[in-house]
């Protein structure tokens, strides 16, 4: 167990990372917390949540996309050409709506390679 001070120090370190670097770190951590042995398997994922502009924000239905992990092998160890979650689409296998910093990224739910636009 860590202390609040230790978690605060880790949070400060994570804040220094660019968005693609943060996504890469979380890709290494979140899947380790998946629960496969239950009757309803679950996976922790990073998500991007947005609302349509204008109107009453309390009644507007948010749009949620899971953050897909960039295919770093394809990008020679890099994160792809963009520095923000600008690429969007759905996983061809499980249908999860996904967003990523790269056009080629892995679905965080099933691991399928997604071609995002």
Per-residue pLDDT tens over the stretch 32-83: 888 887 788 888 999 988 887 776 666 677 889 999 999 999 999 988 876 6
Q: Percentage of the chain surpassing pLDDT 90?
A: 60
pLDDT of residue 94: 94
**Residue (of 111, 116, 108) closest to 29 by Cα position:** 108
Q: How many domains does the chain have?
A: 1
Whole-angstrom distance, CA of residue 82 vs CA of residue 62:
24
Residue numbers of the domain that contains 60: 4-115
pTM of the full structure: 0.80
Q: Where are the alpha helices (DSSP H) in 1-108?
A: 4-15, 19-29
Backbone phi, psi, residue 98, to 5°: -135, 155
**Residue (of 36, 22, 24, 31) closest to 111 by Cα position:** 31
pLDDT top residue among 85 and 73: 73
């Amino acid at each position: 167990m860590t202390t609040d001070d230790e978690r605060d120090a880790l949070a400060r370190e994570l804040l220094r990372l660019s968005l693609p670097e943060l996504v890469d770190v979380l890709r290494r951590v979140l899947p380790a917390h998946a629960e496969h042995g239950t009757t309803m398997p679950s996976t922790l994922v990073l998500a991007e949540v947005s609302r349509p502009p204008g109107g009453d924000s309390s009644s507007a239905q948010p749009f949620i996309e899971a953050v897909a992990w960039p295919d770093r092998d394809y990008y020679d160890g890099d994160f792809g050409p963009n520095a923000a979650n600008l690429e969007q689409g759905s996983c061809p296998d499980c249908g999860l709506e996904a967003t990523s910093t790269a056009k080629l990224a892995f679905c965080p739910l099933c691991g399928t390679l997604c071609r995002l636009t």
